[in-house]
Every structure is written in C-alpha cells, then in structure tokens.
Amino acid sequence: MSDDWRGVNLANWESRVAVHTGPAGYDLAAFDDPDHLSDVVRYDRPRLGRVEGLDVVHLQCHLGTDTVSLARLGARSTAGLDFSPSALNEARALAARAGADVTFVDGDAYDAVRLLGGERFDLVYTGIGAICWLPSIRRWADVVAGLLRPGGRLFMREGHPMLWAMADPRDDGLLVVEYPYFETAGVRFREETTYAGNDTVASPEMVCFNHGLGEIFTALQQAGLSVTALEEHREVPWNPLGDAVESSPDHPGEYVLKTGRERLPLTYTLQAVKA
C-alpha cells in the first residue's frame, strides 16, 4: 500500500469535483424542484425506513446530493462529512440552492466521532463507493458505533466486494476475477476518467481497498452492532463494466448486466442496529 494513500486519494477526489459539477456531471439543477431526490436515495427509500425526526449523518458525502435528499425526507438534523474541501464547497452551495438545512464538515471518516461528537445520531448513512477508500473496515465500524446513540442504526448500500474484484470488461463477455476480494494493503489504480462527466481528471492515481462481506459483518459485530438486514442487488448506479452492462429498465440511474444478471451481485444493502 502506498504510505500516502490518503494524499493520493484526496488529490483524486479534489480533481473529480470540477468534472462532477460540469455539464455532463451530477444534475445539481434538478434540486431546484423541492420534491427532487437523488437517484441513489430514491432507490434506497423502500428499505430506508423512517427518517422523519431523526438526527442523521452521511459519511463520505461528496457533493451532498444524497445528504440533501435525506434532509428532504424529514430528518430533524442532517450532517455530511467528507475529506474534500472542494466537494464540500459545492455541497454547501447545493444545500443553499435547495433550501436544505444541512451541516457539512470537512474531515476524514475515521475522525468523524471527534469532529461530530459521540452518540449524537439516530442514523448513520453511507453510500455507494465509500468504504473502498478506507484501509481498515474495523476502524470504520468503530466510528459507526461511536456516532450512534443506543438503538441507532446504520444504513448502507455499497458496491459489492465481488464487483470490486472484477477485471476490466473483456471482448468475449466473460466476467473474470482479478483483484482481491478480502481486505489487503490496497491496490493502486490509474483512471483518467470518472463515473460522472466526460472530462479527464487532473489526478488519476488512486488507492482502493476491498472488504469482504464477512469482514464487514465481523467488524460491525465486534463494534457492538447487530446486522438486521442484508440484500444483494443486480443493479449499480454507475457503469462499472463498460459494454457488459446497460441501463436498467426498472430503476432510473442504475445499470444491470446485459446478459446473465444472476451471475454477479453488483451492490448490496446492509442494515445494523447498535445495542
């Protein structure tokens, strides 16, 4: 693992902001409609349960589209945390534009308890493509437990660890495992483009970390949370496999395998409760 995994990843995410706020990036103007929710939160709603009246924190919130959407579901208070100052500037502008009362805090996910306060929240929400940037799932689970009040819950939908382990698309359509499924010291990648927007990023280097489902379960249990639900999905809200996927006919903003959708879970939803 690069000793400077954080610095490498921060430079990458800082350079994504201009692309993600560009013409082909996130549809931020859609939030001018007071009823608009992000595609991700709309997908989550059938499983998310009650948000009204809860104190909610969204870890690794990026531009805040999902954070603002959670606030619009009636949360008593909503906070978003991210380590990219440029992303948070855009998130604050989006919240102001949307008329949403959201507090955005600059910092690492591992420092969330210190930055936001312990046992302050009823719901910890974390979304697609978040924990793959963190080297230790056990440290992350301890943070989730530290943020939650007793009886509070975690809601996460993530890229499936099997998806993160897949090789780049092949011409013959085969799905091939190339990268680690389990937690390791990290894998260094270089990607000139990103999942939203057409422009190249200025800092294409990144260090990513996979975490197997068993490792996530164990980390949460050791941190004092009980897993209450796990559902694996055939959909994913970005194109991870090139021509091997197509837009989902059933879920706006999601992609599915063109053929043999039963071969591979692309995301999962996990929920857990603090004792």
The two structure tokens encoding residue 246? 């197509």
Q: Are 234 and 163 in contact (CB under 8 A)?
A: no
Q: Mean pLDDT over all residues of the chain? A: 96
Q: Are 237 and 218 in contact (CB under 8 A)?
A: no
Residue 129's domain spans which residues?
5-274
Comparing CA positions, the residue from 8, 40, 5, 1 lying closest to residue 195 is 40
Comparing CA positions, the residue from 76, 80, 50 lying closest to residue 68 is 80
**Residues 182-206: pLDDT tens digits?**
999 999 999 999 999 889 999 999 9
Distance CA 66, CA 116 (A): 19
Question: Does position 167 have pLDDT exceeding 80, yes or no?
Answer: yes
**Residues 81-90: pLDDT tens digits?**
999 999 999 9
- Structure confidence at residue 2 as a pLDDT band (50, 70, 90): low
Here the CATH number for the domain that contains residue 128 is 3.40.50.150
Question: Does position 259 have pLDDT exceeding 60, yes or no?
Answer: yes
Pairing mode, strands 225-233 and 267-274: antiparallel
Per-residue pLDDT at 72: 98
Which residue matches tokens 């990513």? 208
- Structure confidence at residue 9 as a pLDDT band (50, 70, 90): very high
Does this model's pTM top 0.85?
yes
**Residues 109-161: pLDDT tens digits?**
999 999 999 999 999 999 899 999 999 999 999 999 999 999 999 999 999 99
The two structure tokens encoding residue 81? 């945390």
**Cα separations in angstroms, 172 against 169, 176, 243:** 9, 11, 11
Per-residue pLDDT at 86: 98
Question: Does position 37 have pLDDT exceeding 80, yes or no?
Answer: yes
Nearby residues of 65 by Cβ (< 8 Å), 6 or more positions away:
26, 28, 31, 38, 40, 94
**Burial of 172 by CB count in 10 Å (0-12 exposed, 13-18 middle, 19+ buried)?**
exposed
Which residue matches tokens 């990458």? 12
Comparing CA positions, the residue from 269, 231, 245, 246 lying closest to residue 166 is 245
Q: Total structural domains in the chain?
A: 1
